[in-house]
Amino acid sequence: MQLLRPDSPAHAIALRAAHPGARFVAGGTALQQEWGDRHRAPAGCCLVPLHHLSALHGIELIEGASALRIGAAMPLETVRTHALVRAHAPLLVEALSQLGALGVRHLGTLGGNVGWRWGDSTPALLVLDAQAECAHAPGQRLPLSGLLAQAELPLIVALHIPLSPGGLPPHTAFEKAAARAAFAPARLRLALRWNAGQLSHAACAAPDVPARLLGRTLAWLHSHPVTRGAAALAGLRQACAADGLPSEHPEDLAHLAARLVAGHCGLLGPAIEEVP
Ligand SMILES: Cc1cc2nc3c(=O)[nH]c(=O)nc-3n(C[C@H](O)[C@H](O)[C@H](O)COP(=O)(O)OP(=O)(O)OC[C@H]3O[C@@H](n4cnc5c(N)ncnc54)[C@H](O)[C@@H]3O)c2cc1C
Protein backbone atom coordinates (compact mmCIF):
# COMPACT_ATOMS: atom_id res chain seq x y z
CA MET A 1 0.00 0.00 0.00
CA GLN A 2 1.23 3.47 -0.85
CA LEU A 3 0.31 6.43 1.40
CA LEU A 4 0.82 9.86 -0.22
CA ARG A 5 0.64 12.56 2.45
CA PRO A 6 -0.46 15.95 1.03
CA ASP A 7 0.29 19.25 2.76
CA SER A 8 -2.68 21.15 1.30
CA PRO A 9 -5.95 20.45 -0.55
CA ALA A 10 -4.34 21.56 -3.84
CA HIS A 11 -1.47 19.16 -3.19
CA ALA A 12 -3.98 16.37 -2.50
CA ILE A 13 -5.62 16.92 -5.90
CA ALA A 14 -2.22 16.94 -7.62
CA LEU A 15 -1.21 13.71 -5.89
CA ARG A 16 -4.42 11.95 -6.91
CA ALA A 17 -4.03 13.16 -10.51
CA ALA A 18 -0.43 11.98 -10.65
CA HIS A 19 -1.27 8.49 -9.36
CA PRO A 20 -4.05 6.88 -11.42
CA GLY A 21 -6.31 4.80 -9.16
CA ALA A 22 -5.31 6.73 -6.01
CA ARG A 23 -8.21 7.40 -3.58
CA PHE A 24 -8.80 10.14 -1.02
CA VAL A 25 -9.24 8.72 2.46
CA ALA A 26 -10.52 10.44 5.62
CA GLY A 27 -11.71 8.02 8.34
CA GLY A 28 -11.44 5.02 6.01
CA THR A 29 -14.60 3.44 7.49
CA ALA A 30 -16.49 3.37 4.17
CA LEU A 31 -13.47 2.73 1.97
CA GLN A 32 -12.55 -0.39 3.93
CA GLN A 33 -15.94 -1.91 3.05
CA GLU A 34 -14.62 -2.24 -0.51
CA TRP A 35 -11.62 -4.31 0.57
CA GLY A 36 -11.78 -8.11 0.65
CA ASP A 37 -10.06 -8.09 4.06
CA ARG A 38 -11.42 -5.05 5.93
CA HIS A 39 -8.34 -4.93 8.17
CA ARG A 40 -5.83 -4.72 5.35
CA ALA A 41 -5.70 -2.45 2.31
CA PRO A 42 -5.31 -4.46 -0.90
CA ALA A 43 -1.87 -4.77 -2.46
CA GLY A 44 -1.08 -1.89 -4.80
CA CYS A 45 -3.66 0.35 -3.10
CA CYS A 46 -2.71 4.04 -3.21
CA LEU A 47 -4.28 6.43 -0.67
CA VAL A 48 -4.22 10.21 -0.23
CA PRO A 49 -5.14 10.92 3.46
CA LEU A 50 -7.07 14.11 4.19
CA HIS A 51 -7.81 14.12 7.91
CA HIS A 52 -4.74 16.18 8.91
CA LEU A 53 -5.44 19.09 6.48
CA SER A 54 -6.46 22.12 8.55
CA ALA A 55 -8.54 23.59 5.69
CA LEU A 56 -10.91 20.63 6.12
CA HIS A 57 -11.45 21.36 9.83
CA GLY A 58 -13.72 23.62 11.87
CA ILE A 59 -17.41 24.28 12.41
CA GLU A 60 -18.39 27.94 12.30
CA LEU A 61 -20.96 30.52 11.27
CA ILE A 62 -19.71 32.57 8.34
CA GLU A 63 -20.69 35.63 6.31
CA GLY A 64 -22.63 37.47 9.00
CA ALA A 65 -24.09 34.20 10.31
CA SER A 66 -25.87 33.56 6.99
CA ALA A 67 -24.34 30.09 6.60
CA LEU A 68 -22.92 27.27 8.68
CA ARG A 69 -19.56 25.94 7.45
CA ILE A 70 -18.57 22.40 8.42
CA GLY A 71 -15.09 21.17 7.49
CA ALA A 72 -15.20 17.95 5.48
CA ALA A 73 -12.73 16.16 7.76
CA MET A 74 -14.78 16.79 10.90
CA PRO A 75 -15.67 13.52 12.61
CA LEU A 76 -19.38 12.70 12.45
CA GLU A 77 -19.71 12.62 16.25
CA THR A 78 -18.11 16.06 16.54
CA VAL A 79 -20.59 17.39 13.98
CA ARG A 80 -23.52 15.64 15.67
CA THR A 81 -22.77 17.08 19.12
CA HIS A 82 -21.64 20.57 18.09
CA ALA A 83 -23.75 23.40 19.54
CA LEU A 84 -23.93 25.33 16.24
CA VAL A 85 -25.08 22.27 14.29
CA ARG A 86 -27.67 21.43 16.94
CA ALA A 87 -29.00 25.00 16.86
CA HIS A 88 -29.03 25.55 13.09
CA ALA A 89 -29.22 22.12 11.42
CA PRO A 90 -31.22 19.77 13.68
CA LEU A 91 -32.05 17.65 10.62
CA LEU A 92 -28.37 16.83 10.19
CA VAL A 93 -28.11 15.97 13.90
CA GLU A 94 -31.12 13.67 13.54
CA ALA A 95 -29.58 11.90 10.52
CA LEU A 96 -26.19 11.48 12.21
CA SER A 97 -27.80 10.18 15.40
CA GLN A 98 -28.98 7.18 13.38
CA LEU A 99 -25.59 6.55 11.78
CA GLY A 100 -23.52 3.54 12.82
CA ALA A 101 -22.15 3.12 16.33
CA LEU A 102 -20.17 5.63 18.38
CA GLY A 103 -16.82 4.20 17.23
CA VAL A 104 -17.78 4.60 13.57
CA ARG A 105 -18.99 8.16 14.18
CA HIS A 106 -15.69 9.06 15.88
CA LEU A 107 -13.64 7.78 12.93
CA GLY A 108 -15.92 8.57 9.99
CA THR A 109 -16.12 12.12 8.67
CA LEU A 110 -18.82 14.25 7.05
CA GLY A 111 -16.80 14.51 3.80
CA GLY A 112 -16.37 10.73 3.75
CA ASN A 113 -20.09 10.21 4.31
CA VAL A 114 -20.84 12.42 1.29
CA GLY A 115 -18.04 10.74 -0.67
CA TRP A 116 -19.67 7.38 0.01
CA ARG A 117 -22.61 8.66 -2.07
CA TRP A 118 -25.48 7.16 -0.09
CA GLY A 119 -24.48 8.04 3.47
CA ASP A 120 -27.15 9.10 5.95
CA SER A 121 -26.07 12.74 5.93
CA THR A 122 -26.47 13.26 2.17
CA PRO A 123 -30.29 13.44 1.85
CA ALA A 124 -30.32 15.76 4.88
CA LEU A 125 -27.65 18.00 3.34
CA LEU A 126 -29.52 18.01 0.01
CA VAL A 127 -32.80 19.24 1.49
CA LEU A 128 -30.89 21.88 3.46
CA ASP A 129 -29.60 23.21 0.08
CA ALA A 130 -26.00 22.49 1.13
CA GLN A 131 -23.20 23.71 -1.07
CA ALA A 132 -19.69 22.36 -1.28
CA GLU A 133 -16.44 24.26 -1.00
CA CYS A 134 -14.12 22.32 -3.32
CA ALA A 135 -10.36 22.34 -3.58
CA HIS A 136 -10.40 22.75 -7.38
CA ALA A 137 -12.59 25.89 -7.26
CA PRO A 138 -11.35 28.09 -4.39
CA GLY A 139 -13.76 30.87 -3.43
CA GLN A 140 -16.74 29.18 -5.10
CA ARG A 141 -19.59 27.15 -3.64
CA LEU A 142 -21.01 24.38 -5.75
CA PRO A 143 -24.50 22.94 -5.17
CA LEU A 144 -24.11 19.51 -3.61
CA SER A 145 -26.91 18.11 -5.80
CA GLY A 146 -24.85 18.84 -8.94
CA LEU A 147 -21.65 17.39 -7.47
CA LEU A 148 -23.33 14.14 -6.49
CA ALA A 149 -24.47 13.68 -10.08
CA GLN A 150 -20.85 13.62 -11.25
CA ALA A 151 -19.09 10.28 -11.83
CA GLU A 152 -16.02 11.32 -9.80
CA LEU A 153 -16.44 13.50 -6.76
CA PRO A 154 -13.90 16.33 -6.43
CA LEU A 155 -12.09 16.97 -3.17
CA ILE A 156 -14.62 18.55 -0.80
CA VAL A 157 -13.03 20.97 1.66
CA ALA A 158 -16.22 21.94 3.52
CA LEU A 159 -20.00 21.83 3.38
CA HIS A 160 -21.95 25.08 3.69
CA ILE A 161 -25.54 25.11 4.92
CA PRO A 162 -27.40 28.37 4.20
CA LEU A 163 -29.39 29.55 7.22
CA SER A 164 -32.89 30.99 7.12
CA PRO A 165 -32.93 34.78 7.63
CA GLY A 166 -35.24 34.46 10.67
CA GLY A 167 -32.68 32.26 12.40
CA LEU A 168 -35.12 29.42 13.01
CA PRO A 169 -34.30 26.11 11.27
CA PRO A 170 -36.97 24.90 8.81
CA HIS A 171 -39.51 22.18 9.64
CA THR A 172 -37.85 18.92 8.53
CA ALA A 173 -38.07 15.14 8.93
CA PHE A 174 -35.63 12.25 8.49
CA GLU A 175 -36.43 8.57 7.98
CA LYS A 176 -34.06 5.63 7.79
CA ALA A 177 -35.83 2.43 6.81
CA ALA A 178 -34.43 -1.08 7.09
CA ALA A 179 -35.70 -4.64 7.09
CA ARG A 180 -36.90 -5.85 10.48
CA ALA A 181 -33.87 -8.03 11.20
CA ALA A 182 -30.84 -7.65 13.42
CA PHE A 183 -27.87 -5.96 11.75
CA ALA A 184 -29.83 -5.34 8.54
CA PRO A 185 -28.27 -2.44 6.66
CA ALA A 186 -30.57 0.49 5.92
CA ARG A 187 -32.57 0.20 2.70
CA LEU A 188 -33.47 3.87 2.30
CA ARG A 189 -32.63 7.24 3.80
CA LEU A 190 -35.17 10.02 3.23
CA ALA A 191 -35.09 13.67 4.25
CA LEU A 192 -37.96 16.13 3.91
CA ARG A 193 -38.29 19.87 4.41
CA TRP A 194 -41.35 22.10 4.60
CA ASN A 195 -41.71 25.79 3.86
CA ALA A 196 -44.79 27.64 5.11
CA GLY A 197 -46.57 24.33 5.66
CA GLN A 198 -45.84 22.98 2.16
CA LEU A 199 -43.26 20.31 1.37
CA SER A 200 -40.49 22.20 -0.44
CA HIS A 201 -37.63 19.66 -0.59
CA ALA A 202 -37.32 15.88 -0.64
CA ALA A 203 -34.14 13.83 -1.04
CA CYS A 204 -33.13 10.22 -0.60
CA ALA A 205 -30.21 7.80 -0.80
CA ALA A 206 -29.95 4.02 -0.83
CA PRO A 207 -27.33 1.39 -1.61
CA ASP A 208 -26.68 1.68 -5.36
CA VAL A 209 -28.93 4.75 -5.51
CA PRO A 210 -26.62 7.73 -4.94
CA ALA A 211 -28.17 10.61 -2.99
CA ARG A 212 -30.51 12.76 -5.05
CA LEU A 213 -33.28 15.34 -4.81
CA LEU A 214 -36.75 13.93 -5.56
CA GLY A 215 -37.91 16.61 -8.04
CA ARG A 216 -40.61 14.52 -9.79
CA THR A 217 -42.04 13.43 -6.44
CA LEU A 218 -42.30 17.01 -5.27
CA ALA A 219 -43.89 18.06 -8.58
CA TRP A 220 -46.46 15.23 -8.27
CA LEU A 221 -47.41 16.36 -4.75
CA HIS A 222 -47.84 19.96 -5.83
CA SER A 223 -49.99 19.01 -8.85
CA HIS A 224 -52.23 16.62 -6.84
CA PRO A 225 -53.00 18.59 -3.67
CA VAL A 226 -56.18 16.69 -2.74
CA THR A 227 -55.30 13.10 -3.73
CA ARG A 228 -55.26 10.71 -0.76
CA GLY A 229 -55.04 7.01 0.09
CA ALA A 230 -54.30 4.37 -2.57
CA ALA A 231 -54.38 6.88 -5.42
CA ALA A 232 -51.78 9.03 -3.67
CA LEU A 233 -49.58 6.00 -3.01
CA ALA A 234 -49.79 4.89 -6.65
CA GLY A 235 -49.02 8.36 -7.99
CA LEU A 236 -46.17 8.91 -5.55
CA ARG A 237 -44.69 5.47 -6.30
CA GLN A 238 -44.64 6.28 -10.01
CA ALA A 239 -43.05 9.68 -9.31
CA CYS A 240 -40.41 8.14 -7.01
CA ALA A 241 -39.60 5.61 -9.76
CA ALA A 242 -39.22 8.50 -12.22
CA ASP A 243 -36.79 10.04 -9.72
CA GLY A 244 -34.64 6.92 -10.10
CA LEU A 245 -35.75 4.67 -7.23
CA PRO A 246 -36.07 1.00 -8.21
CA SER A 247 -39.69 -0.18 -8.33
CA GLU A 248 -39.25 -3.83 -9.28
CA HIS A 249 -38.71 -6.94 -7.18
CA PRO A 250 -36.67 -7.50 -5.02
CA GLU A 251 -36.32 -3.89 -3.87
CA ASP A 252 -39.41 -1.75 -4.42
CA LEU A 253 -37.78 1.32 -2.92
CA ALA A 254 -40.17 3.57 -4.89
CA HIS A 255 -43.06 2.07 -2.89
CA LEU A 256 -41.18 2.45 0.41
CA ALA A 257 -40.32 6.09 -0.33
CA ALA A 258 -43.89 6.79 -1.49
CA ARG A 259 -45.29 5.43 1.80
CA LEU A 260 -42.88 7.52 3.88
CA VAL A 261 -43.58 10.71 1.92
CA ALA A 262 -47.34 10.08 1.99
CA GLY A 263 -47.21 9.38 5.73
CA HIS A 264 -45.34 12.57 6.52
CA CYS A 265 -47.68 14.59 4.31
CA GLY A 266 -50.83 13.11 5.88
CA LEU A 267 -51.94 11.40 2.65
CA LEU A 268 -52.27 7.82 3.85
CA GLY A 269 -55.86 8.05 5.05
CA PRO A 270 -58.86 8.17 2.71
CA ALA A 271 -59.98 11.48 1.27
CA ILE A 272 -62.03 13.46 3.80
CA GLU A 273 -65.62 13.66 2.58
CA GLU A 274 -66.92 17.16 2.11
CA VAL A 275 -69.81 17.80 4.50
CA PRO A 276 -72.69 19.03 2.30
C1 LIG B 1 -19.72 -0.87 11.11
C2 LIG B 1 -20.05 0.28 10.17
C3 LIG B 1 -21.31 0.83 10.22
C4 LIG B 1 -21.64 1.89 9.36
N5 LIG B 1 -22.89 2.41 9.43
C6 LIG B 1 -23.21 3.45 8.63
C7 LIG B 1 -24.52 4.02 8.72
O8 LIG B 1 -25.37 3.61 9.51
N9 LIG B 1 -24.79 5.09 7.89
C10 LIG B 1 -23.87 5.59 7.01
O11 LIG B 1 -24.17 6.57 6.32
N12 LIG B 1 -22.65 5.06 6.92
C13 LIG B 1 -22.29 4.00 7.68
N14 LIG B 1 -21.06 3.44 7.59
C15 LIG B 1 -20.14 3.92 6.54
C16 LIG B 1 -19.12 4.99 7.00
O17 LIG B 1 -18.71 4.77 8.30
C18 LIG B 1 -19.66 6.42 6.92
O19 LIG B 1 -20.30 6.62 5.67
C20 LIG B 1 -18.57 7.48 7.15
O21 LIG B 1 -19.14 8.76 7.19
C22 LIG B 1 -17.51 7.48 6.07
O23 LIG B 1 -16.58 8.50 6.40
P24 LIG B 1 -15.01 8.23 6.31
O25 LIG B 1 -14.34 9.50 6.69
O26 LIG B 1 -14.63 7.03 7.05
O27 LIG B 1 -14.88 7.99 4.72
P28 LIG B 1 -13.73 7.22 3.92
O29 LIG B 1 -13.92 5.75 4.07
O30 LIG B 1 -12.39 7.77 4.27
O31 LIG B 1 -14.09 7.66 2.45
C32 LIG B 1 -15.34 7.29 1.85
C33 LIG B 1 -15.35 7.80 0.39
O34 LIG B 1 -15.38 9.21 0.38
C35 LIG B 1 -14.24 9.74 -0.30
N36 LIG B 1 -13.85 10.94 0.46
C37 LIG B 1 -13.48 11.02 1.76
N38 LIG B 1 -13.32 12.30 2.11
C39 LIG B 1 -13.59 13.05 1.02
C40 LIG B 1 -13.58 14.46 0.74
N41 LIG B 1 -13.28 15.37 1.67
N42 LIG B 1 -13.90 14.86 -0.51
C43 LIG B 1 -14.25 13.98 -1.47
N44 LIG B 1 -14.25 12.63 -1.28
C45 LIG B 1 -13.95 12.19 -0.04
C46 LIG B 1 -13.19 8.63 -0.31
O47 LIG B 1 -12.32 8.72 -1.41
C48 LIG B 1 -14.09 7.39 -0.40
O49 LIG B 1 -14.48 7.19 -1.74
C50 LIG B 1 -20.68 2.39 8.44
C51 LIG B 1 -19.40 1.83 8.42
C52 LIG B 1 -19.07 0.79 9.27
C53 LIG B 1 -17.69 0.21 9.24
Instruction: For residue range 206-247, list pLDDT tens digits in order.
Output: 988 999 999 999 999 999 998 999 999 999 999 999 999 999
Instruction: List pLDDT tens digits, range 27-85.
Output: 999 999 888 777 778 888 999 999 999 999 999 999 998 999 999 999 999 999 999 99
pLDDT at residue 274 greater than cutoff 70: no
Residues 146 and 220 in one domain: no
CA distance 68 to 90: 12
Say what the pLDDT of residue 186 is.
87
Region of poorest pLDDT, from 167-171, 181-185, 193-197: 181-185
Domain residue limits at 224 = 214-276
Q: Is residue 244 part of a domain?
A: yes
Q: Name the domain count of the chain.
A: 2
3-state secondary structure of 72: coil
**Tally of CB atoms within 10 A around 275:** 4
- Write the residue with the smallest CA distance to atom 11 of ligand 1: 119
Examine residue 2 and state whether it is found in any structural domain, yes or no: no
| 21 within some domain | no
Q: What percent of the chain has pLDDT over 70?
A: 96
Q: Please state the atom number of ligand 1 nearest to the C-alpha of residue 101.
A: 3
Of the candidate ranges 138-147, 233-242, 266-275, the one whose mean pLDDT is the lowest: 266-275
Structural domain includes residue 45: no
Q: Which of 120, 145, 162 is the last residue of a domain?
A: 162
Cα–ligand 1 centroid distance for 220 (angstroms): 33
User: What is the per-residue pLDDT for 165?
Assistant: 80
Question: How far does the centroid of ligand 1 lie from the alpha carbon of residue 135, in Å?
Answer: 19
Q: Report if residue 38 sits inside a domain.
A: no
Strands (E), 86-225: 131-134, 142-143, 156-162, 171-178, 186-195, 198-206, 209-213
**Which protein residue's CA is at the shortest distance from atom 28 of ligand 1?**
28
